[in-house]
Structure 1
């Protein structure tokens, strides 16, 4: 297939582009400022999209890359909504026979807000946090593409080469491993291998559309995750980071880091997807090498 990707230079995008290429697909990486692609101005050359069978939009500023303030929250929104909206409008504006067969649009489990101990699936409503509002608007911006739209509600991807785990592994190896707050909050996670497998699965499954939770079938609390990571790197993790410290270091994102999300991958499970790493110990053992 001919696949057009945005966000292909990021942690997940780089690995997905490589996987799809290895699988025999022709992958075109769409970069801002080239080929008539300027999402801030709502500009995209339709001919770039018309030649694709599948579009995968992963673009967006990193949620945990910087301390949150008003300006960075604005960037988190604009980098997502401008890209998703421009892509969807461009696809919808093409003649029906020229449209890609599907748009796979990045999203996040942040959609659900704080769910406490309650299990949530793709049918659960959005929460009332900043990230929940962002995900709701992000998904809405992509929904008018006029083709099959799959919303990739991704949890915490586990791989030592990037994302949050890269920083956590270094911290734990230095003896600074600690649970966040009381550690009772649920963490929706997924191994990198399973994330890649799931995206390929969703490309092929033309009967699946709408939100899909890209998480493992066994969510764990932060306390359990912390102990599992400590075992994987052979270091103790006896500390706890108080909530007020997270707020000082991370700003408003500190509160988001303590939210509980017991997310269940109901769509993938019912569609017959098979996880390589369904339990966190096995996933972390592979992730940290």
Structure 2
């Protein structure tokens, strides 16, 4: 059986990926708490500390999804450092091990996010877009990608959008006010939300894992991004609730500080390279995606 090294396995994407791949790969995950990881993922998953990883010679593939959640806390100087170090340090270590290995893994798939583009209004953004807006999310992702692409093997970068799942993530935070009939657009609602259904996220990673011609950055977003206002209307309709209220920007700024930028601004992202490589989305539209969730 092929061997896979996975970081971030207990997160939303990682845990779904383990379920998908555990029958075709022998999976080892790097965790700060290996016992907890095994308890959550199953005893058939090997869990080790990063300090225990001395070589990656035995692995056919490495998928790197580790990172402190970027929007869970206010961006204090300490929290910014934690967000950066949790991504950059482990990626540096993996790249060093790949480059020192006698038999390199055939592919290194490493995380990133569409935040690399910065706020872009209604400009259509694909992987070749270069007119970046400099801000913290851009800084985090840019260096993260720079480190990953130094690996001397096939490298794919996951520029991930908002992952829609009924088991957590961004959607879980939105559901409560909408279920109470208090949901609605944020600010003017014109900012774009580039999203992807969790099944397409996992399907996309597996596609990159299996297709040797795929190299470089890939936008992991559905082909039909929507404004926040449109998203709010469709989510409210899916839940059978009204959509009357608006959330003023000053409330979010007071609650979240600088990290409110993530929801007050957006990007209209298109997964051009993934589509051109032959990938087919199971949930290309928002209505299909919401209908495909147990909410």
| TM superposition score normalised by structure 1 | 0.93
Q: Secondary structure at the match of 2:246?
A: strand
Give the C-alpha shift of residue 194 in structure 1: 0.5
Deviations 1:83-139 (A, max 9, x none): 1111111111112xx110011001000011011111011111233111011100011
Is residue 227–residue 237 contact of structure 1 (8 Å, CA) maintained in 2?
yes
> SS of the residue aligned with 1:272?
coil
Tell me if structure 2 keeps the 8 A contact 1:46–1:94. Answer: no
SS at match of 1:176: coil
- 1:287, 1:113 → 2: CA distance? 29
Per-residue CA distance 1:167-197 (angstroms, 9 max, x = gap): 2112211222121110001110000110010
The runs of at least 4 aligned residues of structure 1 exceeding 2 Å deviation read 32-38, 43-47
Within-5 A mapping of 1:23-172: 24-32=24-32, 37-38=49-50, 45-47=53-55, 49-95=56-102, 98-125=103-130, 126-172=132-178
Task: Provide the secondary structure at the position in 2 that maps to 1:179.
Answer: coil
Unaligned runs of 5+ in 1: none
Superposition pairs of residues 204-243 of structure 1, within 5 angstroms = 204-243=210-249
2:185 is paired with a residue of what secondary structure? strand
Q: Given that residues 31 and 48 in structure 2 are in contact (C-alpha distance below 8 angstroms), is that contact kept between their aligned partners in structure 1?
A: no
Alpha-carbon distance between aligned partners in 2 of 1:225 and 1:36, rounded to the nearest angstrom: 40
Separation of aligned partners in 2, 1:138 and 1:193 = 25
* 1:58-81 CA-partner distances (Å, limit 9, x unpaired): 000001111221111111001010
| SS at 2:67 equivalent | coil
What is the rounded CA distance, in whole Å, between the counterparts of 2:206 and 2:48 in structure 1?
Answer: 28
Q: In structure 2, what is the equivalent of residue 175 of structure 1?
A: 181
Matched pairs, number: 281
Offset at residue 3 of structure 1 (A): 0.8
> In the aligned structure 1, how far is the partner of 2:248 from the partner of 2:48?
47
User: What RMSD over aligned residues (CA atoms) do the two structures have, in Å?
Assistant: 1.5
Q: Distance in 1 between matches of 2:33 and 2:237?
A: 45
Q: 2: distance between equivalents of 1:36 and 1:274?
A: 35
What's the TM-score, normalizing by structure 2? 0.92
1:15 corresponds to: 16
CA contact (8 A) 1:44 1:86 kept: no
Determine the C-alpha separation between the residues in 1 that align with 2:128 and 2:217: 8
Q: Is the 8 A contact 1:6 1:29 kept in 2?
A: yes
Q: How far, CA to CA, are the matches of 1:151 and 1:44 in structure 2?
A: 25
